[in-house]
Chain A
Amino acid sequence: MAYSDKVIDHYENPRNVGSLDKESSDVGTGVVGAPECGDVMKLQVQIEEGVIIDAKFKTFGCGSAIASSSLATEWLKGKTVEEATAIRNVDIVEELALPPVKIHCSVLAEDAIKQAISDYESKQNND
């Protein structure tokens, strides 16, 4: 199948690959997908005073999954928590020109963002 230039760019030059300390109280981690489905995304955000100051990802999955998570981290940096939770999978589909069979990659990315933020929020509530 043909990939869009943006998918190829994110695949070849992924932004923000890596890991943040998942034990840290200002870091939220989201891990979504399953190996047997062929996609696992780990997305992490570091939040300071309601603003995402860093975001990292690691993804096991196809090029579109890698690109979706890479794009998500790029978008997350500098956003407030509120703005981050407003990111929708369709925004990712549109930006990366994902074909219908790859829409689930964008859904995973949206889920990962939500899970990472909710992990961060639950850490705050427990403090």
Chain B
Amino acid sequence: MTTDVKQIYLDYQATTPVDERVLEAMLPYFSDKCGNAASRNHKFGWDAEKATQSARETIASGLNAKAREIAFTSGATESNNLAILGVAKMYAAKGKHLITCSTEHKAVLDPMAALQNEGYEVTVLDVDSNGHVDLNELRNAIREDTVLVSLMMANNEIGTIHPVKAIGDICHDNGVLFHTDATQAVGKELIDVQEMNIDLLSGSAHKMYGPKGVGFLYVRRRNPRVRLEPIFHGGGHERGIRSGTLNVPGIVGMAKAFDICLAERDEDHQRISALRDSLQTQLAAELTHLSINGDENNRLACSLNISFAFVEGESMLMGMSGIAVSSGSACTSASLEPSYVLRAMGVGDDLAHSSIRFSLGRFTTQQEVNRAAELTISTVKRLRDMSPLYEMALEGIDLATVSWGTH
């Protein structure tokens, strides 16, 4: 990125910069091609409609879906809400039971909780220490009145990739709809909604070098035909499931971004995972008491979530100023609750407070990785030197046996 040279961006799982090629594709749709895709009687409208239709085809073909199965939204949060609330309400007569898991994004867990308040039942599956659900538990959780299983493709905090095809097969065999929040995976992992038996899939542009504020929901039209109760009413856009004027520049940008991701996927994947591995190796060579969070054998190439025992995450971030990363410690919020994802995986609250998520991307360089490793190492060493916990650990005291006061 061409930002301040001192700043290093390693928070690509939070959001990505817009690729210049994407921005270029979008620009005409802010000005010269300003039409509303719903305007049927002039060229401006036709051009806008043509552009969104072409975008629909690009996105659909990247998922092995049909263009008419893609509905544009304002982002993955809306897509998840539309999928979950839309299915629950449309199929309420069939049943009011849904299944998800404890490490899902809040954009899945919160609509599920909202449904619970309305009398629906939700089974939240536990995950193991790598962030995986037990497929037998999933099978056993499916009931006569289950209408939807929602399990993410890849986790935003730890990068663990769920076995989506196996999950899709279970749902398909049991006649239950399967929604996957693929926000972190779209453009990075190969997705085939037919082969994977996915009925609904959420994606977002800004996680794949597209703009913020635009996303999509894939909704299967055949075998089975999935129907949704809309959330928004007002014009019947997107075949009635999502009213509202289409964000034409955003949609054009999202399609361009996805197209570039698909064309450059193998190179990006290889290069980014090599950089990620380099970061991990450099940290492990200099620091003891590290633990990697997530499934090391099956995680996103960009993702590295590490707990640095005996140092607190927020103080680490402060020491690593100039490096943009995320902390699993929520000391910044009033709740003092650390990451619920790490907690669900059985990571102790102490280690959850000590965790940092590094996420790399298309524009990350080896120099940036080296600099980030260097700063992380010096910060952890400095903070460990002033950590009473590290001192106790060196003295051989088992911190788990200490009786701590409360505050």
Contacts and interface: CB of A to CB of B under 8 A. Distances in A.
A120 B333 CA distance: 35
A19 B331 CA distance: 26
B404 A33 contact: yes
A107 interface: yes
B407 A104 contact: yes
Interface in A52-68: 57-63, 65-66
B329 interface: yes
Contacts of A104: 336, 407
Give the secondary structure class of B's interface. loop
A101 B333 contact: yes
Given A11-B318, A58-B391, 6 more contacts: A60-B311, A60-B389, A62-B314, A62-B332, A63-B315, A100-B334
A57 B350 CA distance: 20
B396 to A, nearest CB: 15
Interface residues of A, number: 34
23 contacts: A8-B318, A11-B315, A11-B318, A17-B386, A31-B405, A32-B407, A33-B405, A33-B407, A34-B405, A38-B336, A38-B338, A39-B331, A40-B389, A40-B404, A42-B391, A58-B388, A58-B391, A59-B386, A59-B388, A60-B310, A60-B387, A63-B318, A108-B407
A49 B333 CA distance: 43
Nearest to A41: B388
Interface string A19-39: 100000000000111111111
Nearest to B405: A32
Give the secondary structure class of A's interface. mixed
Contacts of B256: none
A17 to B, nearest CB: 5
B274 interface: no
B386 A107 contact: no
B406 interface: yes
B355 to A, nearest CB: 11
A35 B331 contact: no
A100 B137 CA distance: 43
B385 interface: yes
A13 to B, nearest CB: 11
A109 B261 CA distance: 51
A57 B349 CA distance: 23
Nearest to B385: A17
B252 to A, nearest CB: 36
Contact of B353 (A35, A107, A108): A35
Residue from the set A32, A60, A63, A107 with the largest chain B CB neighbour count within 10 Å: A60
A34 B310 contact: no
The 3 closest A-B pairs by CB, nearest first: A34-B404, A36-B349, A35-B350
Contacts of B386: 14, 17, 57-59, 66
B312 interface: yes
B348 interface: yes
A37 B319 CA distance: 20
Interface string B325-363: 000010111101010000000001110010000000000
Residue from the set B312, B338, B387, B390 with the largest chain A CB neighbour count within 10 Å: B312
A38 B329 contact: yes
B399 A35 contact: yes
Residue from the set A58, A100, A104, A111 with the largest chain B CB neighbour count within 10 Å: A58
Contacts of B399: 35
A35 B406 CA distance: 10
A100 B332 CA distance: 11
Contacts of B348: 35-36
A14 B399 CA distance: 25
B325 to A, nearest CB: 15
Contacts of B390: 60
Contacts of A61: 312, 315, 331
Interface string B110-122: 0000000000000
Nearest to B348: A36
A108 B406 CA distance: 10
Contacts of B338: 38
Interface in A80-118: 100-101, 104, 107-108, 111
Given A35-B349, A36-B350, A38-B312, A19 B404 contact: no
